[in-house]
Structure 1
Amino acid sequence: MSSNTVVRLADEFREVMAGVCTPVSVVTALTSEGRPHGTTVSAFASLSMTPPMVMVSLDRGSDLLAHVRETGRFGLNVLDSRQSAVALRFASKGADKFAGVGWETHTGVPRVLGSGGFLGCTVADLVGGGDHIILLGTVVAAESVPGRPLTYHDRVFGTHAALEEASR
């Protein structure tokens, strides 16, 4: 492929993926010093019901990935529609993303307070995928809170709304 074709493919791929509505979550871990660390992700999904498992994609250079490798644990905080500021905070670079964010330790990982859902996970496997690593996590704790999920679509935050005909 020519370099122009590669660039066009990358641009088109980016546009297609922007059109996919994804849930927004903050993946968390504790550092070896016991400090909370986290990052915003939209690339996660359920993997298995028996046993309950999820998969999460993290950049190979992610500081969080280093902490997850070290501890063998991570938390998946599925954000509520009122938490777009939390999503932006954890999407930024910086050491103390938890400053001013309510959290508690749950199953050995940080749980962001107010999240619509929380999964505490142990690492089952790490799988390479291009410039990312896919965490395969076994769920050891799960809690949901009624509410609307924070979603990301067409480069903006939103939430899910049922179609009129689906609610009849």
Structure 2
Amino acid sequence: MDTSKEHVVGSPATLAVRFRQAMATLCTPVTVVTGMDGDRPHGTTVSAFGSLPMDPTMVTVALDRGSALLAMVRRTRRFGVNVLGSDQSDLALRFARKGTDKFVGVEWHAAEGLPRLTGTQTWLSCDAAELVDGGDHVIALGLVTEIDTVPTSPLTYCARSFGTHLDHEHD
């Protein structure tokens, strides 16, 4: 048994810092999750996104408990997922900030009654099947109702910077 590494238990504050550092080393896709409030679009950048089972086709997104978008999803029970392409880091930054003017100057159209950003790698229209408590976030389990994908590389986030996926070269 290797005893060269001790298991160190720290305070909750220390654990939180170490957890953030560890999670920053993981590569995640960058998405903009969207919803409509009447005729007004809303959106926010989300990197906590993943797929669930294929039957039924479902995804997860984690939304900040205090976000206006979460309040809208609670009301409408619908949301869109725009998986950004590798050339769309500007959109990731725009939708990561606070404010109601995020869509000003951004090309988008309504698809399935939800805001769909132009040029994204993948578009998913979802019905919120369930909203689950996740600490300071709420995890939305989305039943996918529409999918569109274009052949381009996705935008990813790793080590606190944007990038994209590259295939391994095989010998």
Q: Deviations over 1:31-84 (max 9, x none)?
A: 1x3200000000010112111111110011011001111111100000000000
Among 123, 126, 143, which residue is 2:128 paired with?
Answer: 123
How large is the RMSD of aligned CA atoms in angstroms? 1.0
Aligned to 1:13: 19
Amino acid at match of 1:122: D
Structure of higher CA gyration radius? 2
Aligned residues: 162
- Is the counterpart of residue 22 in structure 1 residue 28 in structure 2? yes
Deviations 1:101-132 (A, max 9, x none): 11011111100010000000011010001111
Give 1:96 deviation, angstroms. Answer: 1.3
Matches of residues 126-145 of structure 1 in structure 2 within 5 Å? 126-145=131-150
What secondary structure sits across from 1:87 in the alignment?
Answer: helix
Amino acid at match of 1:153: C
Q: Is 1:52 equivalent to 2:52 in the alignment? A: no
Distance 2:39 2:73 in 1: 12
Structure 1, unpaired ranges of 5+: none
TM-score computed with the length of structure 1 as normaliser: 0.94
Q: Please tell me whether the aligned partners of residues 73 and 108 of structure 1 are also in contact (alpha carbons under 8 angstroms).
A: no
Identical aligned residues as a percent:
57
Establish whether residue 62 from structure 1 lines up as the match of residue 67 from structure 2.
yes
Aligned to 2:6: none
Unpaired runs of 5+ residues, structure 2, are 1-9
**Structure 1 residue 6: deviation in Å?**
1.6
Are 1:158 and 2:163 an aligned pair?
A: yes
- Quote the residue 1:73 is aligned against: 78
Comparing both structures, which one devotes a greater share of its residues to helix? 1
AA paired with 1:25?
T
Stretches of 4+ aligned residues off by more than 4 angstroms: none
Q: Deviation of residue 8 (structure 1)?
A: 1.2
